[in-house]
Amino acid sequence: MNIYKDMGIDDKVYKLSESILEGLSDRFNEIDRVAEINQLKVVKAMQESKVSEACLLGTTGYGYNDIGRDTLEEVYSRIFHTEAALVRPQITCGTHALALALMSNLRPGDELLSPVGKPYDTLEEVIGIRPSMGSLAEYGITYSQVDLLSNGDYDYEGIRKAINDKTKLVTIQRSKGYQTRRSLSVESIGELISFIKSIRSDIICMVDNCYGEFVEEIEPTDVGADMVVGSLIKNPGGGLAPIGGYIAGKTACIENAARRLTSPGLGKEVGASLGILKDFYQGLFLAPTVTASALKGAIFASAMFEKAGFPVLPDSVEERVDIIQAVTFGKPEGVIAFCKGIQAAAPIDSFVSPEPWDMPGYDAPVIMAAGAFVSGSSIELSADGPIKPPYAVYFQGGLTWPHAKFGILKAFQSVYDAGLINLL
């Protein structure tokens, strides 16, 4: 179409994309089917919780008797099929939500176990893998890790050996983070939880659910997770939530988290919702279809860059369990060119050029492209990656499929213009 040419897409790139899209219709239809199920799940939870117009109004001050806040937490409990939930604007991001869940449910002398390898970079300082003020390590909480096997499977024997009398909580990261490993399906997570519970039923199993909500028909709490944790500026916020995070799970776990977030004796009773409840509710309502758009973009990106000869994870035919698409370039120029293309496709700040910088919480310079309506929102069209081997970029988001498509075309065009792709 002429408009793509007007917006900087070569005929060769556009024709390649059209030929690729012809083979993706069945995949896209399946994504729409799952989105329909999850959309009805959200509507049902809202109806059963009796969401009213009054729930969309905010409170100030202490926030006592905030009907909108309390009802929203009931909605989340129903969606995730849990006893309780904590959904608050006072939770600033996904890392904060995870830190809150960990710090509130672990005590000095306890041990935290990750049976899926190294956690996401920003959790390293939370745990104390990299020394940091206020880490779990400073409070006498130890950490143990069991890496995945070379084929990506769980090291069940290693996990069995790692579990001991001090093991209190197991953290399972659903998405790959800045790693070139496969993300974990809900079914696979359920098998891992069952194994852990067969050894010690009292171990708390927490799942970092970031980037995974509404991708499948079920969530980790449907297969035995005691807690799921996520960010509202990712999938469940639907692109409208301006801040916030959630923890859903067993009542005892949620009460611990609430008392850590506010104060012992206060817990969930305080915390004004200010004026953003409408965005929380409406974003959640839109989340299943927004997530579907992001999934279509991820599959399209995989197919395009796979065709160009780059290693991609997942590949273009694998089942999707989160919205993250990794492309490995093997050199920093590829990561940077990709991110510049994504930025150039953004509705906000399309005229700026992203550059790698030393971001807090990371051990290498990171480049991030995200011209977003909500700063840092990774359910919106975005891409990022650390400037270190294997020089992989991680693409996610897209509030609408047409914009996700355009973003991938701009990223492909940018890498092509950098001389890293040869189109015959």
Mean pLDDT by 10 residues, the chain (424 residues): 92 96 96 98 98 96 96 98 98 97 98 96 94 96 96 96 98 88 95 98 98 98 98 98 98 98 97 97 98 98 97 94 96 97 97 91 88 94 94 96 98 96 82
Q: Residue 181, by phi and psi: left (phi above 0), alpha (psi -120 to 50) or beta?
A: beta
Q: Which CATH architecture does the domain made up of 2-39+284-417 adopt? A: Alpha-Beta Complex (3.90)
Domain boundaries, the chain: 2-39+284-417, 59-274
Q: Per CATH, is 59-274 categorized as 3.20.20.150?
A: no
Residue-level pLDDT at 136: 98
**What is the signed CA dihedral for 253, 259, 262, 268, rounded to 10 degrees?**
70
User: Which residue bears the tokens 């370039």?
Assistant: 329
Q: What are the backbone dihedrals phi and psi of residue 130, each rounded to the nearest 5 degrees, phi first?
A: -105, 120
Q: Is the dihedral of CA 281, 205, 117, 129 positive or negative?
A: positive
Among candidate residues 374, 386, 37, 9, the one with its CA nearest the CA of residue 180: 386
**Tally of CB atoms within 10 A around 60:** 10
Structure tokens at 169: 């909580």
Residue-level pLDDT at 2: 85
Q: What are the backbone dihedrals phi and psi of residue 367, each rounded to the nearest 5 degrees, phi first?
A: -110, 135
Per DSSP, which regions of 47-128 are E strands? 84-88, 111-114
Residue-level pLDDT at 360: 78
Structure tokens at 239: 């692109």
Among candidate residues 378, 80, 113, the one with its CA nearest the CA of residue 254: 80
**Tally of CB atoms within 10 A around 138:** 12
Omega prior to 314 cis, within 30 of 0: yes
Helices (H), 56-199: 67-80, 94-105, 123-127, 156-162, 186-199
d(CA 282, CA 279): 5
Q: How much is the pTM?
A: 0.95
d(CA 295, CA 32): 10
Residue-level pLDDT at 424: 66
Helix (H) or strand (E) holding 99: helix 94-105
Residue-level pLDDT at 355: 95
